[in-house]
Structure formats: structure tokens, C-alpha cells
Amino acid sequence: MYPIKFENLILAFQKLPGVGRKTAERYAYETLNWNKNKQEEFIQAIEVLKEGIERCETCGNLCEGRICTICEDKNRDTSLLCVVQSPKDIEVIESIQEYNGLYHVLNGLINTSKGIMPEDIRIEELIKRIESNQVDEVILALDPTLEGETTSMYIEKLVGEKAKVTRLAYGIPMGGHLDYTDTLTLLKAFQGRK
Amino acid sequence: MYPIKFENLILAFQKLPGVGRKTAERYAYETLNWNKNKQEEFIQAIEVLKEGIERCETCGNLCEGRICTICEDKNRDTSLLCVVQSPKDIEVIESIQEYNGLYHVLNGLINTSKGIMPEDIRIEELIKRIESNQVDEVILALDPTLEGETTSMYIEKLVGEKAKVTRLAYGIPMGGHLDYTDTLTLLKAFQGRK
């Protein structure tokens, strides 16, 4: 039996995705043995969760201030809109330096079994953006999973008449996750979009 | 490029043992998406590192207050002293319910290449304990690694004349770590100590 405070520390680490008891214990002992400075830095960085990290009012990307650097960039092609699930997908797509349009972060995918309905993700904002801006092409870059397909089909139906809708080519393995795709595969997927 | 606060969150998670960039990003996104309550609980548990977790004044185990529950337990055989590297080893040994003596936590192992010398770990406290108490047997339960062997040999030399010194039997695979040993192997190692 560990002291309650240490047990709580272990349980906290166990909340992280994919972290079991053994790993959580390891994290707890490791952080406990750090020097004061390293512990202080760690705590400060984590405490940022309290205030939260700002989201871009336009696209939903993580940002500092109100509008993200991509939406503010005048050199971007505003007629292209790439729809992604999460800000981390923007990072991956940016890294291949192939796409020069704007993004729209849905913040999730439709998942009826988990009760995540179309109105729970940022689809309404997407429609408004398309209606009030000149968007020629909407690129759906969602995970090729059941939820991703459902969401893509849902958006396609809503947007199909307002703009051309394309999807990334299937170079991405089915059931995989976008942010674990290597950049060459992603590049091919981007070029072969249909 | 992530906003600086989010980047710091990722870098903080990357400090954890065995956590690379991808995993740290995953932790950062996951914690960011938690609800306020879960985030608050997580932060509170981590903040315990600021005040620190008490160590038993006698054996060095994690504890609440000044003396740990094992040292306080009147049913324990005080003539047996088991020397371990870290409090987590006490947890593993306690779980096999074979040993009923006391413990002594060294808080590290001698590692000359990393500059960890005998005076940096709790060997002096061990000697004092043996000199001022009736200890018949000192059981060295250190990792069967180079550092563990060095430390065991060092302690054996110092303590050999004052008490019988035994070691766990080699059922534990060489180069392994004590806290990843299954309980049956550990039980055998305990019974066959020599």
C-alpha cells in the first residue's frame, strides 16, 4: 500500500492514454526523483490546462490570441478548405508542404454509438464558412475509419451543392490514423485526391 | 508550429521516462480534451510533487507522517533487514507475503560512471541501523545488474562482520529489474537466498 498522495499520483498518470499500472508507477517514481527545478517546470507546463489553450475563432486550430497563424497568412489560397478532425492533423499536413489552403477543425467525428452527433462537432461552423466565403473545393482529410467515413459522407451531402468535395486518396491504410501516416504516403494521398 | 503553451505541454510529457515526441503529443492532446474535472484532478495529483511525499525516517520508504506502516508494525521481525534500491521494490516484496522483517531503502545504487558514490546513497544510515539494533541477517535484494552487484559487494564488506549477509537466489534473470519480476520467481528467489 502506497501513501495516499503517491497513490493519487500513480492514478493520475494512469489516466493518460495507453498507460497501465506499471508505466504509471514508473512515471510517478521518476517525477518524484526529479530535482525541484524539473518538477517545477513540469507542474507549470501541466497547469496550462487550467486556463486552456486558445482556439482559432475561424478554423478551430490551436493558437495564441484569437486567430491562428494559418488563417492570418495572406499567402494562403482561401478557395481551398481542408477539413480535419483535430489540430494535430494540421501539423502533419503542414509538414508535407503540399497544401496551401485553409483548414477547418471539426474537433471530433460523428460516432452515434458514443453519442457524438453532427451537432456536437463543428459542422455548422463549416457550413457557415462555406456559405459566407468563396470556397471552391472542400478537401475531406478525415481518418479512414468507420467514424471518419460516416462524417465524410454526412458533410459531402450537406456541402456537395455548394462546393466541390474531394477526399484524400486511399494510400492511407484503412483503420489507421492520419497522424501516424508517413509523409510520403500522405503526400501521395494529397496529390491523388478525388 | 504549435502555440508555445501547447509546445511546453508536449515537452513536459517528453520528460517522462520512455516517452518520445509522438506519445507526448498524444498525452498533450488527450489531456487538453479532458473535461475540467478530470484536468483539475490530474493537476492536483501532480502538484503533490511540490510539497514532496514524506519518507520514513527509519527505513526511507514512502510514508505519511514520520514513520512508515512497516516500521511501526509490532509484528515484524526486527532481526531481519532487507536492503532495497527503491520503495517500489518494497511493494513487490510485500506482495509475495513471504517476508516479515524490516526494510532499508538505499535510494539508488553505486554507479561510479554516473558519479553516484557510496556516500550518495543511504549506506551510512544502514550501518548505523545495524550497529544500534539487534540485526541477525541483512538480505540484499538489489537488481542483478552491474550497479546492483557493486553495491551488494560494497555493503557485504562493510556489514559482513556485524551480521549475516544473504542475497536473493538467482532466479531473477541477470540484467533484469526487480519490479518487473513475476511473483513466483521472486518467491523462489526469496526462499533460496544464500
What CATH number corresponds to the domain at position B12? 1.10.8.420
Ordered per-residue pLDDT tens for chain A, 194 residues: 788 899 999 999 999 999 999 999 999 999 998 888 999 999 999 998 888 888 999 999 998 889 999 999 999 999 999 999 999 899 888 888 889 999 999 988 999 998 999 999 999 999 999 999 889 999 999 987 889 989 999 999 999 888 899 987 766 666 777 777 777 777 767 776 76
**pLDDT digit string (tens) for B103-124?**
999 988 999 998 999 999 999 9
| Nearest beta carbon to residue A45 from set B9, B18, B49 | B9
Query: Could you tell me if residue A173 is inside a domain?
Result: no
H or E stretch at B95: helix B87-95
Candidate from B1, B49, B179 with C-beta closest to A39: B49
With CA atoms as reference, report the closest residue to A129 among A76, A67, A28, A58. A58
Residue closest to B134 by CA, chosen among B94, B166, B164: B164
What is the reported pLDDT for A110? 94
A contact test, residue of B1, B7, B9, B48 with most A CBs within 10 A: B48
- Judge if A117 and A85 occupy the same domain: yes
Q: What is the DSSP string of chain A?
A: ---HHHHHHHHHHHTSTT--HHHHHHHHHHHHHS-HHHHHHHHHHHHHHHH---B-TTT--B-SSSS-HHHH-TTSEEEEEEEESSHHHHHHHHHTT---EEEEE-SS--BGGGTB-GGGTTHHHHHHHHHHS---EEEE---SSHHHHHHHHHHHHHHTTTSEEEE--TTSPTT--GGGS-HHHHHHHHHT--
Q: Are residues A48 and A90 in the same domain?
A: no
Q: Are residues B91 and B157 in the same domain?
A: yes
Is residue A47 in some structural domain? Answer: yes
Cβ distance of B8 and A69 shorter than 8 Å: no
Residue with cell 484569437: A66
The confidence score (pLDDT) of residue A101 equals: 93
Would you call A15 and B38 a contact, using CB atoms and an 8 Å cutoff? yes
ipTM above 0.90, yes or no: no
B84 and B32 within one domain:
no
Q: Indicate whether B88 and B124 sit together in one domain.
A: yes
Check: CB of residue B188 under 8 Å from CB of residue B171: yes
Assess contact for B56 and B84: CB atoms under 8 A.
Answer: no
> Does a structural domain hold residue A122?
yes
Q: What's the number of domains chain B is made of?
A: 2
Asked if B45 and B105 sit in the same domain, the reply is no
Q: Is residue A66 part of a domain?
A: no
What dihedral do alpha carbons B58, B63, B65, B68 form, nearest 10°?
-50
Is B19 in the same domain as B94?
Answer: no
Is there a domain that residue A67 lies in? no
Instruction: Specify whether A98 is located in the same domain as A44.
Output: no
- Does B27 sit within 8 Å of A16, measured CB to CB? yes
Give the per-residue pLDDT at A167: 83
Low-confidence stretches of chain B (pLDDT < 50) are: none
Flag whether A181 is in a domain.
no
Q: Are B5 and A180 inside 8 Å of each other by CB?
A: no
pLDDT at B27: 95
Could you give the dihedral angle defined by the CA atoms of residues A143, A145, A150 and A156, in that order, rounded to the nearest 10 degrees? Answer: 40
Range of the domain at B45: 4-52
- Does residue A20 fall inside a structural domain? yes
Give residue B85's pLDDT: 93
Judge whether B142 lies within some domain.
Answer: yes
Q: Do A42 and A113 fall into the same domain?
A: no
- First-to-last C-alpha distance (Å) of chain A: 58
pLDDT score, position A172: 66
